[in-house]
Amino acid sequence: MNVNDVVGLFTERIPKNIEITNTSHGDGDFREALFVDLGNEKIVIKLSANGFTDEKHLVLWERIAEEYRDLGYYCPQYIRALDGTFPTVLYNGRSCTAWGEEFSKYRSAEELIRDRFSDTKLVKDGWYTFLEDAMIMDAKVASCHFDYTDLPSAYCMFEVFDPADECDETTEDARKWLAIAKTLPEKYSDRVERIWNSWLEARRELEKIYHKLPASVFQADINDTNVLLDEDGSFKGVYDFNIGGREVYINYIIRQAPYVSTADTYERLEEDDTFLKRVLHALDIAKKVYSFSDLEKKAAPLLYKCIRPLWWHASIELKEAGTDDGKIQKHLDAIEYEQTRDVDFFRHM
């Protein structure tokens, strides 16, 4: 199918113009968006070829958007093909799932920062100005305890989001670190084994309670590219639901908060306890509208010990240390500190 054929699946009107944007994430995750100008309105038609975009997920993401709108947040409407489906089409030599979306009434924070707020970056006191509203939205969704799907979000633990994955992302990150750590000189082997066993113990303890923890169904991607604001920078809603699904709320907070609080380099998260400060700040926001259970309070330190010490950047940092003993020692010290420190999560929950 060519571009016009794909558009013809969703509208009988002749487009005045079609702009194409490719946002693929490598060969195994093809994504393309068609911005279709129909004259008095615009629609967006998206095509994806990956392991987690199919009609079942599209029906789910359509439902998530509806639930968010019912809570008072703006989300563009999903648009089905004229035959009522989210069709699979042959496009650019790939079998792609296709769907349409209403052209957003609002712009993303990323666009507005570039066009209107380049001086402030929409940051005040070290946080995005829209962060609290976005996290309050998530907390309200968490309070609903939605259970209308068995499909997890990309943040899931003890299961996989993409069927092609061997394990959840947190475990994959830890395994990547271990593979590099095993190449260190023999003098580090006892320490590497101790770190790995400590990580495994935290994971085992977490697994005993994980599936009992409160969950809901989230959009699960509130970064600045997906948060929608009005022209004054006020929070209005979200779009892009393609990693959304069922998720344990406390896991979702700890996994996402460090990355969405403001736009920084990943190295910045290693400085001045920034990673933890952002997690605790997110908990402080959430508890304004959400009541954390005793089980969530018990799980928080275990989750932190699973996620933080061997997060994905740890393997990059260790690899970059090379054969520098000073850098290796500093890296291992930091990991063991995060594994053994006593964090007062209770005060923030």
Residue (of 227, 245, 226) closest to 54 by Cα position: 245
pLDDT at residue 235 above 90? yes
List, for residues 1-16, the tens digit of each pLDDT value.
999 999 999 999 999 9
pLDDT at residue 74 above 90? yes
User: What's the pTM?
Assistant: 0.93
Which H or E run contains 253?
A: helix 249-260
Token reading at 177: 């670190």
List, for residues 171-206, the tens digit of each pLDDT value.
999 999 999 999 999 999 999 999 999 999 999 999
Which CB contacts under 8 angstroms, 24+ apart, belong to 277-284? 279/253, 279/254, 279/304, 280/345, 280/348, 281/127, 281/257, 282/135, 282/253, 282/257, 283/253, 283/345, 283/348, 283/349, 284/348
pLDDT at 318: 97
pLDDT band at residue 264, thresholds of 50, 70 and 90? confident
Q: What is the residue-wise DSSP string for 60-98?
A: HHHHHHHHHHHTT-B-PPEE--TTSS--EEEETTEEEEE
- Domain annotation for the chain: domains and CATH numbers: 3-104 (3.30.200.20), 109-348 (3.90.1200)
pLDDT at residue 269 above 90? no
Token reading at 34: 């068609």
Q: How far apart are CA 246 and CA 155, in angstroms?
A: 9
Strand order of the sheet with strand 227-229? 107-108, 227-229, 235-238
List, for residues 313-330, the tens digit of each pLDDT value.
999 999 999 999 999 999
pLDDT band at residue 65, thresholds of 50, 70 and 90? very high
Q: How far apart are CA 52 and CA 58, in angstroms?
A: 10
Point out which residues pair with 322 in neighbouring strands: none
Residue 146 · residue 282 · CB < 8 Å: no
Q: How far apart are CA 64 and CA 218, in angstroms?
A: 7
CA of 295: how far to CAs of 112, 241, 247, 298, 303, in Å? Answer: 40, 28, 15, 5, 12
Region 81-108 average pLDDT: 96
Region 81-88 average pLDDT: 97
Torsion, Cα of 250, 253, 258, 263 (10° steps): 180
pLDDT at 28: 87
